[in-house]
Amino acid sequence: MSAKAKAKAKAKSNTKQTSNAKKYSILLPTYNEKQNLSIIVQLIVTALEPHNLCFEIVIIDDNSPDGTFEVAKQLQSIFGKQRIVLLKREKKLGLGTAYISGLQKATGDFIIIMDADFSHHPKYIPQFIAKQQSGDYDIVTGSRYIENGGVCGWGFDRKLVSRGANFLAVTALNPGNLSDLTGSFRLYKRKVLNDVIDQVISKGYVFQMEIIVRARAMGYSIAEVPIIFVDRIFGYSKLGTTEILGYLKGLWKLMQAV
């Protein structure tokens, strides 16, 4: 076979592989993430491109006053509209509705949800995908509380609150062998997320927890991958008395609903 024929055959093979490949949509809700967005997008691209994965990044911005959406538009001009998908909402409407809006905009077979503030490192995404493929799991979730998982950058008080909140949730909701209900770095089969999210009634910090608890109750298979959660580098994390009381109220409602 000539070199020209080999090149043609290889191109045909690559086209076939691309057309049969599963597509991954990474949802990035943002609010005042101007300093973080360009770096996290580059980290995602760097983590996924070597694995020849078909993916898009869906940026859902709640009209950030710091100019986050302008950065998002610049990223789209660099990486292209097929790689960077933009959704701008008129105001801050909450994390739960951001996921729902992003899901409607996404075109992937799998949905990956993560934070844009470096708390969730994109290097774990290929591990999530490998884990999902190893057992055809419906959901793969990152866990801080299994072997090789952990938290970096939190003081003792914050760690105590997080551990306490997760322990309370696991004790109250009995999710089986799941160790980290309050985490939010996950991979879903698109159909599964659509099915589960239709049942969710919670908002705020309890939203992600309700998704995983309802998914377990509905019989979907869930696997965990250890992750190191890193406190945000730029900006600040909002966790005060109001958020804690909101979490406890949401947990109580979830106990009654599930």
pLDDT in tens, 23-37: 999 999 999 999 999
CA dihedral 76, 79, 82, 88 (to 10 degrees): -20
pLDDT of 243: 62
Q: Which residue has the higher pLDDT, 205 or 137?
A: 137
For residue 201, what pLDDT is reported?
Answer: 82
Q: What is the mean pLDDT of residues 71-76?
A: 98
Looking at per-residue pLDDT, the higher value among 205 and 43 belongs to: 43
Res 237: pLDDT: 54
Residue 112 structure tokens:
């990956």
Confidence of residue 133 (pLDDT cuts 50, 70, 90): very high
**249 pLDDT higher than 70:** no
Cα-flanking dihedrals φ and ψ of residue 61, to 5°?
-110, 130
Predicted confidence at residue 1, as pLDDT, reads 46
Instruction: Give this prediction's pTM.
Output: 0.82
Judge whether residue 17 has pLDDT over 50.
Answer: no
Q: Across all residues in the chain, what is the average pLDDT?
A: 84
Reported confidence tier of residue 5, pLDDT bands at 50, 70, 90 = very low
The beta strands (E) that lie in the chain are given as: 23-30, 54-61, 84-88, 110-113, 139-143, 150-152, 186-189, 222-226, 228-230
Strands 110-113 and 186-189: antiparallel
Q: Which comes out higher in pLDDT, residue 231 or 6? A: 231
- According to the model, what pLDDT value does residue 21 have? 82
pLDDT at site 165: 74
Give residues with Cβ within 8 angstroms of 29, minimum separation 6: 60, 61, 62, 95, 98, 99, 102, 115, 116
Whole-number pLDDT of residue 256: 60
Span 171-214, pLDDT tens digits: 667 777 888 888 889 999 999 999 999 888 877 667 888 898 89
Residue 57, beta-bridge partner list:
26, 84
Q: What is the SS3 assignment for 28-43?
A: EEECCCHHHHHHHHHH
pLDDT at 242 over 50: yes
Predicted local distance difference test score (pLDDT) of residue 78: 97
Helices (H), 21-144: 34-48, 68-79, 95-105, 125-135
pLDDT at 9: 44
- The answer to whether 144 touches 180, Cβ cutoff 8 Å, is yes
pLDDT at 20 over 60: no
Closest CA to 50 of 123, 108, 100: 123
22 vs 155: which has the higher pLDDT: 22
Chain centroid to CA 235: 19
Q: Quick check: 19 pLDDT over 70?
A: no
State yes or no: pLDDT of 87 exceeds 50. yes
54 half-sphere exposure, CB direction, 13 A CA radius: 15
| Tally of CB atoms within 10 A around 185 | 25
Q: How far is the first Cα of the chain from the last one, in angstroms, to the nearest whole number?
A: 63
Phi, psi (deg, nearest 5) at residue 137: -70, 150
Confidence band, pLDDT 50/70/90 cuts, at residue 85: very high
Question: Is-contact 122 44, C-beta < 8 A?
Answer: yes
